[in-house]
Amino acid sequence: MKGYLHLQNGEVFTGKWLTSQPQTVISGEMVFFTGMTGYQEVLTDPSYKDQIVVFTYPLIGNYGINKSDFESIKPHVAGVIVHRGDMMHSHYDAEMSIVQYLNKWNVPMLGNVDTRAVVKRIRTKGSMPAYMNTTAEFNVSEQNFHADSPVPLVSQQQMEVHGDGNHHIVLMDFGFKKSILTYLLEKGCKVTVVPYNTTAAQVHALKPDGILLSNGPGDPVDMLPYIAEIQAIASSYPTMGICLGHQLISLAFGGKTKKLLFGHRGANQPVADIFNKSVFMTSQNHSYVVDEKSLEGTELQVRFKQVNDGSIEGVQHKTLPIITTQFHPEANPGPAESAVIFDEFLQKVKSSSGREKVYA
């Protein structure tokens, strides 16, 4: 059965349904991912909530779906666009095909699409609303595309405690990836995962040694009602922010954010560590960045920069033990060389252990 991808600018791309065809029009922001592998992690990363993802690599699904590489319990993408995604899969860990997995969760996948042409439109016109349906006749101007803040939809509602390590980390959940939690546990931490709207008083009652603000979907300014609490929390303990968490810490200490034309999504993004004079490859997934000019006069200083476009990839507080990364140091998918940032954060936690906390 033929399927159609309608972009907000009026362009239409034709393909065929590799999954069951949707019964309703599927809408979402159109973005693209450039990694050759890692589709399972992308599908289940909460940062992709309600987005239609175009995979630039032409063969998706060749190693199937396994039970260990999920970043959350279900896929969060609104839809998937591929050139080919229905080939036979082969891997000793595979339990099902990508088609079977997406059908299980009623997520549509459109194949035989000219993905190169779609990506070129996004790169020149920018990320934009898009629609997947079963008819070529579709008026995008009649669609009222509006997305509420997706963070409340992906953040867990209750506190959960994991592990029993020597250092207690509170992981603020804005849509965290499982691999972040896994890394902290492997480093011997006790981790308490708390909802996105947890207050400073509630965090203080947990008596943590450190704070990690997770990744998550959406526009960071949607979280402005919670910025005062985030500022109080980050000012009280050694703190690390990843992706959305990085943006929220920057907002909390006086910075501003802006949207990129088409964002960074892939597993081969080069980042320069300005302090250590080194460059490493990173995994990224974001549409928004911190405006460097907005940091002038604040207590934040730029620590990491994107090599290709010069955008900010992380900051560090001048006096407080706070470090952030726009990229994903836990990788999954992607290179793991930036995981040393976790070690740096945990060293700050250990150095502050036993000291009286600022917040009271």
Buried b (16+ CB within 10 A) or exposed e, 212-221: bbbbbbbbbe
User: Rounded to whole angstroms, how far apart are CA atoms 87 and 141?
Assistant: 36
Active site residue 328: yes
Catalytic residue among 71, 76, 83, 243: 243
Phi and psi dihedrals of 199, rounded to 5? -85, 165
Question: Are the C-beta atoms of 48 and 41 separated by less than 8 Å?
Answer: no
User: Rounded to whole angstroms, how far apart are CA atoms 215 and 200?
Assistant: 19
Helix (H) or strand (E) holding 147: none
User: Rounded to whole angstroms, how far apart are CA atoms 332 and 343?
Assistant: 17
312-317 β-sheet, strand order? 160-162, 189-195, 167-173, 210-213, 239-242, 322-325, 312-317, 300-306, 257-273, 278-290
CA distances from 264 to 24, 128, 188, 206, 224 (A): 30, 15, 31, 35, 23
Round the CA-based radius of gyration of the chain to a whole number and report it: 20
Catalytic residue among 29, 41, 313, 330: 330
Q: Residue holding tokens 């509602």?
A: 157
User: Rounded to whole angstroms, how far apart are CA atoms 112 and 150?
Assistant: 30
Query: Residue 353 forms beta bridges with which residues?
Result: none
User: Rounded to whole angstroms, how far apart are CA atoms 249 and 240?
Assistant: 9
> Which amino acids are annotated catalytic?
243, 328, 330
